[in-house]
């Protein structure tokens, strides 16, 4: 079975490190990190990860704008994106509550920060339908 590759786009170095350590240790996945939306888009194009964990609140280009650029790009539009954020509304009309189909019909959802590092790989696998 091919090792999963996950790109983490988050401007907080601590979140990048914790996410990388827990996904590599718990699941044995390869983790690529990016500190901004622009860097993340470039890495997504070149690395072609199996999934992207994307923070919503970042300077310069926020997560929603980064997501839109990823969706518009033929090299990255098929990569599933999961938002990893402290900013989740409980409103039923929030696009990150219970998932919302994006323009390609994929479900976009969010994992709230703070997250349980030991459960993160299981949460991602469940959302994406990956089997252990």
Using an 8 Å Cβ cutoff, are 58 and 36 in contact? yes
Q: What is the pLDDT of residues 45-79, one digit of tens each?
A: 999 999 999 998 899 899 989 999 999 999 999 99
Q: What is the pLDDT of residues 10-29, one digit of tens each?
A: 999 999 999 999 999 999 99
Distance CA 115, CA 37 (A): 21
DSSP 40-106: HHHHHHHH--SEEEE-S--SSS-HHHHHHHHHH-TTTTTS-EEEEES-----TT-TTSS-EE-TTS-
Using an 8 Å Cβ cutoff, are 18 and 8 in contact? no
Q: Looking at residue 16, what DSSP letter applies?
A: H
Name all domains of the chain by residue range, CATH numbers in brackets: 5-127 (3.40.50.2300)
């Amino acid at each position: 079975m091919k090792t999963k590759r996950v790109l983490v786009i988050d401007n907080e170095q601590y979140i990048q490190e914790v996410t990388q350590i827990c996904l590599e240790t718990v699941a044995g996945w390869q983790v690529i990190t990016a500190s901004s939306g622009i860097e993340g888009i470039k890495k997504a194009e070149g690395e072609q990860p199996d999934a992207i964990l994307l923070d919503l609140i970042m300077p310069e280009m926020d997560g929603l704008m980064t997501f839109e650029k990823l969706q518009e790009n033929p090299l990255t539009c098929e990569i599933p994106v999961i938002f990893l954020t402290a900013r989740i509304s409980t409103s039923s009309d929030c696009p990150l509550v219970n998932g919302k189909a994006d323009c390609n019909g994929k479900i976009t959802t969010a994992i709230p920060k703070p997250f349980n590092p030991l459960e993160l790989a299981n949460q991602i696998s469940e959302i994406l339908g990956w089997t252990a």
